[in-house]
Amino acid sequence: MSKKVLVLSGSPRKGGNSDILCDQFILGAEEAGNEAEKIFLRDKEINYCMACDTCKRNEGICDHDDDMAGVRDKMIAADVIVMATPVYFYSMNAQMKTLIDRTYLGYTEISNKDFYFITTAAVTRKQALERTIEGFRGFTSLLSGAKEKGIIYGTGAQNVGDIKGSSAMTEAYEMGKSI
């Protein structure tokens, strides 16, 4: 059965290491007969949540007039969500965290999804990326029926393209193919 896959690329640079792994995941997913779409968060206007609760008082309408409503709708419609981020100072980057915070409006509708996490960093130890993974898990723990299906640790990737030739490339492709 074909699945609808949404890949959220938090990379601030197109063709960056985490973005490259997103493309490998998509390649595997599409070869397995699934439909995949990548949203490059850098290209979207997603403002910070102001914790104003306007959305709660205003029939679910956020004070921000930006791209988040469309992204959230795609998250709700997807069967599989891939969240990819470079790791800065042992945490996810601002683009990904801002997206997560903005799901405050409507997060209860992001239900029954399979989740995959992609991380990249200059460090070579997977353990150094666990804080980032725990951040993703904190988010998905609030989503009804969320299932963590896989993690790709793209370690040792300091400069653009360093990830090419690493085992993470094969892992991303294989995980995409296996959904």
pLDDT tens digits, one per residue of 46-104: 999 998 988 888 877 888 999 999 999 999 999 999 999 999 898 999 999 999 999 99
> 126 Cβ partners below 8 Å, 6+ apart?
153, 155
Give the Å distances, CA to CA, from 96 to 44, 46, 101, 132, 162.
Answer: 12, 10, 9, 11, 21
What pLDDT was estimated at residue 57?
86
Separation between Cα atoms, residue 96 and residue 99, nearest integer Å: 5
CB neighbour class for 33 (10 Å; exposed up to 12, middle 13-18, buried from 19)? exposed
Confidence of residue 1 (pLDDT cuts 50, 70, 90): confident
pLDDT at 159: 87
pTM of this prediction?
Answer: 0.96
SS3 label, residue 115: strand
29 vs 2: CA distance, rounded Å: 9
Q: Among positive and negative, which fits the CA dihedral 104, 90, 112, 40?
A: positive
Residue 7 Cα to chain centre, angstroms: 6
